[in-house]
Amino acid sequence: MAGWRRTGEERHRLRAEVFAVAHAARRLAAELEAEAQQEPWRQPAWSHQPRPEFGRPAAPYTRAALDVLYAAEQALAQAVAADRAAGQTWESISGALGVSVDTAARRYRQLPR
């Protein structure tokens, strides 16, 4: 019974991480849509020089996409934990990831909770 409980807890954590990815992606899409409604000279991509004092940080699109990437990496780590809790082997997980068994285990074995 404890195995099923752990699997359910890991699945719940995975669902939370996936919602975080969706939230980060929706936030980026909304920011891009709002920007597209502005005059071209007000859009960060039109500025070659960062101007933080005017709300134009360096590499704004890269920074925004990194939030989505970080959330996706967290979701992937939680998916591995959920699969392990459900009894999946490192061999099956490494095959899905496209990495060696050692790499998968080393990368995801000691995940913080």
Task: Tell me whether residue 113 is in a domain.
Answer: no
Domain count, the chain: 1
Structural domain contains residue 9: yes
Helical segments of 56-109, H only: 60-85, 90-97, 101-108
Cα–Cα distance for residue pair 13/81, rounded to 1 Å: 9
Range of the domain at 51: 2-108
Q: Which residues of the chain register pLDDT less than 50?
A: 1, 113
* Residue 75 domain-assigned (yes or no): yes
Using alpha carbons only, what angle is made at residue 49 by residues 47 and 50, rounded to the nearest 5 degrees?
95
For 59: left if phi > 0, alpha if psi spans -120 to 50, otherwise beta; the answer is left
Quote the tokens at residue 86: 């459900």
Confirm if 22 and 74 have CB atoms less than 8 A apart.
no
* pLDDT, position 71: 94
Residue 63: per-residue pLDDT: 81
